[in-house]
Structure 1
Amino acid sequence: MSEPVPIHAEGIFIMGIDGGVWEDLIFEYLDRDHYYRGLMRSRETLLNELRTVMSNMQGFLDEETIKINGEVVRARVVDISLGFRGSFDRPYLEFYIYFKGNLKRGVNKYEDYYEEEVAEYDYEIVWLFPPGFKILDYEFAGEGSIMGNGNILRLMVKKGLRVGNYESITFEVP
C-alpha cells in the first residue's frame, strides 16, 4: 500500500484591520490506495489521525519565526478538515491557522523565517489585505503580482524551486 502523495497546495491569508491573520492552508493529495477513505470507516480512527496531522502541522509552525513589525507572533492551528475533490483518489487536508500582530498607521512589515527546502509540488499563496491597505514590496520565492487596488498579493511556486529561509511583505496601513 502506498502513502498519499502531495500534489498541490494553496494558502490564503486574510489580514484583518486589527492585525489578526487567518490562514486557510489546503494540501491536495493523490491517494490511489484510498488511505484517507479508509480512515472514515471509524470516527475514532479518523479523529486520531486528524489530531496527529494537526499536531504535526503545529510542530512545523513552531519551528518558524513569524514577525509583524519586528515582534514575534505565534501561529496556532485552530482546526483541520478532510475532504475529497471529485473522487476518493483526490483527498485534501485543510488547516485553519491564526496569528496576530500589532499594526500601526504607515509602513508595516510581515516577516517569516523558516527552513529552506525544495518545493515538492506546485503551490499558490494569496494574501488579502483590507481595502485601503497597500502592499509596497514583497520578498518570496516564485512569481508574484500585486493585484486589486494594491491590497492583494498572489504568489505561485513551481515544483523544484528552492524556497524558504525568509519571506516578507511590506505594506501601508492608512
Structure 2
Amino acid sequence: MSEPVPIHAEGIFTMGVDGGVWESLIFEYLDKDRYYKNLLRDREGLLNELRTIMENMQGFLDEETIKINGEVVKARVIDVSLGFRGSFDRPYLEFYIYFKGNLRRGVNRYEDYYEEEVAEYDYEIVWLFPPGFKIIEYEFAGEGSILGSGNILRLTVKKGLKVGNYESITFEAP
C-alpha cells in the first residue's frame, strides 16, 4: 500500500488592516490506494488523523521564525479540512492558519525564516493586502508578480527549485 503523494499546493495569505494574516494552505494529493476515502468510514479515525495532521503542521510552523516589523509573531493552525477534487484518488487538505503583527503607517516588512529545501511539487502563493496598501519589494524563490493596484503578490514555484531559508515582503500602509 502506498501513501498519498503531494502533487500541488497553494497558499493564500490575506492581511487585514490590523496586521492580522489569515492563511489558507491547500495541499493536493494523488492517493491511488484511497487512504483518505477509507478514513471516511471511521469518523473517530478520521478525526484522530486530522488532529495528528494539524499537530504536525503546527510543528512545522513552530520551526519557522515569522517577523512583522522585526517582532516575532507566532502562526497558529486554527483548523484543517479534508476534501476531494473530482474523485477519491485526488484528496486535498486545507489548513486555516492565523498570525498577527503590529503594522505602522508607512513602510512595513514581513519576514519568514525557515529550513531550506527543494520543492517536491509545484506550488503557488498569493498575498492579498488591503486596498490602499502597496507592495514595494519582495524576496522569494520562484517567479513573482505584483498585481491589482500594487496590493496583490502572486508567486509560483516549480518542482525541483531550492526554496526557504528566507523570504520577505516590504509594503507600505496608508
Instruction: Using structure 2 for the length normalisation, give the TM-score.
Output: 1.00
- Which position in structure 1 is the counterpart of 2:135? 135
| Amino acid corresponding to residue 31 of structure 1 in structure 2 | D
- Which position in structure 1 is the counterpart of 2:102? 102
* Cα distance between partner residues in 2 of 1:3 and 1:167: 31
Query: In the TM superposition, what is the alpha-carbon distance from 1:78 to its structure 2 partner?
Result: 0.1
* Cα distance between partner residues in 2 of 1:99 and 1:3: 31
- Listed as ranges, the gaps of 5+ residues in structure 1 are none
| Amino acid corresponding to residue 115 of structure 1 in structure 2 | E
Where do residues 1-174 of structure 1 align in structure 2 (5 Å cutoff)? 1-174=1-174
CA deviations 1:72-116 (Å, max 9, x no partner) are 000000000000000001000000000000000000000000000
Q: % of aligned pairs identical?
A: 86
Query: In the TM superposition, what is the alpha-carbon distance from 1:61 to its structure 2 partner?
Result: 0.0
| Amino acid corresponding to residue 63 of structure 1 in structure 2 | E
- Listed as ranges, the gaps of 5+ residues in structure 2 are none
| Amino acid corresponding to residue 12 of structure 2 in structure 1 | I
| Amino acid corresponding to residue 104 of structure 1 in structure 2 | R
Q: SS state of the match for residue 48, structure 1? A: helix
Q: SS state of the match for residue 92, structure 1? A: strand
Query: In the TM superposition, what is the alpha-carbon distance from 1:53 to its structure 2 partner?
Result: 0.3
* Cα distance between partner residues in 1 of 2:37 and 2:169: 39
| Amino acid corresponding to residue 68 of structure 1 in structure 2 | I
How many residues align structurally? 174
Instruction: Using structure 1 for the length normalisation, give the TM-score.
Output: 1.00
Query: In the TM superposition, what is the alpha-carbon distance from 1:38 to its structure 2 partner?
Result: 0.6
RMSD: 0.2
Which aligned segments of 4 or more residues in structure 1 are displaced greater than 2 angstroms? none
CA deviations 1:27-46 (Å, max 9, x no partner) are 00000100000111110000
